[in-house]
Each structure stands twice: as structure tokens, then as C-alpha cells.
Homo-oligomer: A and B are copies of this chain.
Amino acid sequence: MRPERPSRGPQPSFSRAALTEAAIRVADAEGLEAISMRRLAAEIGAGTMSLYRYVSGKDDVIELMVDAVVADYLPEGTALSGDWRADLGAMARQARRTVLRHPWLAPLAASRQGASPNRLRLLEASLRMVDGLGLGVDEMLTLIGAVFAYVNGFVQSELAEAEALRRTGLDLKGWTALQAPFMMAAIASGDFPMVARMATEGGRAYADIEERFEYGLERLLNGLATDLPRSAG
């Protein structure tokens, strides 16, 4: 909330922003579990305990990371077209791109929604997108919440496989080979005819992931649009 107060005493040798930047860089490259106070201190070139002069603890670092990255949820121009559907869709797509760039964000974005500067900016911009449709504020929040829920849920499951590979250190070949015997046995048992069809008919589950995201997003926006003008109903 307030970064600088150098009234008296020596000058700080680094900044909260530099710490945040280093944390995001490490998490992007090696995952959230690579983030530790010692590691961050080494990255910054400082003593471990020095970090505590800038943040109150590890949770604070995480909060700073989320707030910094959430700024990218909004397309750069932030120009509202006046078409709520286009604006909300653009934000949803941008949000997905951002989370894909920072996979560690997926579980955090949904579960950490305390107030913070950029989250507040995002909320304000989102509300503006759906203003003037005859909705009350609570209804606007409900609408926006549905879109964010879909986006967060989708991207999280989209990242699931990649995260599993990263956690186990395996490649895709080894991972499917590890799962194969179980799947084979399940299919052979005859209790899972649909799964069996999936294994034979289903081409490539994750080939057109982009298309799958669009499919659900468009259907959701359609459904939301259908009975939208409550004021006119």
C-alpha cells in the first residue's frame, strides 16, 4: 500500500517492484513451488532476511505477484467499444492469454480476490463494460462473475496436463505410457463404453483447445445475452 518512507536512515538497496519482478520471473520459469524467500533473496542479490524489510512475508510476495500480473487482464488500449459482448469477450480472451503466460496464476487468480490496485482497476473496467444495460450493480457483478468463472475454470483445466508433466518431470510420452495400462484395463472391462469410444473415435483431445475455449465462451455470452434487457422485459 505505501512503498516509500525514507525519512531518515540509509537508502534501501532494492525495491519492492524489483522483488516482485524477480518472483514472477522465477515462477514463470520454474513454477510457484520454486519461490522461496532464500531463492528470491539470492536472485535479488540480498540477504534472506532483508526481504522482510520490504514485504511482511511470503504471502505478501504472492499478493504482489498476482496484482502485478492481473494488470494484463485488460487489453492495452482499455478503450471500451460500447458493445458489452465484444468488450467482455476481449477481456476473457486476454485474461486467458495472461494466465497461460503465467501458469502459476491459475489457482491464485480465483482464490485470492482481496482488494488490490490492479484488481480494483479490473473490477472497475469490467463493470463499465456492462453498464447501461438496465442492470443493477449486483446483477452486473453476477454477469461478470459468470464469465470470469468460466475463464478461470477453463484455463485451469487447460493447464492441468502441462502442470502434471512439469510436476513429475516426465515428457508427454512417458506420462501417457504411465497411464496406459490403467486405461486399457478399464476399457477392457467393458464398463466404460463411452470412454472406449473416446479412445477410438476421439482424435486429439487437446488439438483445438483454442476452439474449445471459444465454443464455451460464445455459448455462455449467448446465454447471458438472451434474457439480458430485464429493464425492457
Contact = CB atoms under 8 A, between A and B. Distances in A.
Interface in A204-233: 205, 212, 215-216, 218-224, 226-227
A194 to B, nearest CB: 4
Contacts of A138: 201-203, 205
Contact of A156 (B110, B182, B183): B110
B163 A153 contact: no
A62 to B, nearest CB: 11
Contacts of A192: 120-121, 124
Contacts of A193: 124
Query: How many copies make up the complex?
Result: 2
Contact of A215 (B106, B142, B198, B222): B142
B148 A157 contact: yes
A interface majority secondary structure: helix
Interface of A: 1, 59, 106-107, 110-115, 120-121, 123-124, 127-128, 131, 136-138, 141-142, 145-146, 148-154, 156-157, 159-161, 163-164, 167, 179, 182-183, 186, 191-195, 197-198, 201-203, 205, 212, 215-216, 218-224, 226-227
Given A148-B153, A151-B153, 7 more contacts: A59-B167, A107-B107, A107-B110, A111-B156, A113-B157, A137-B202, A138-B202
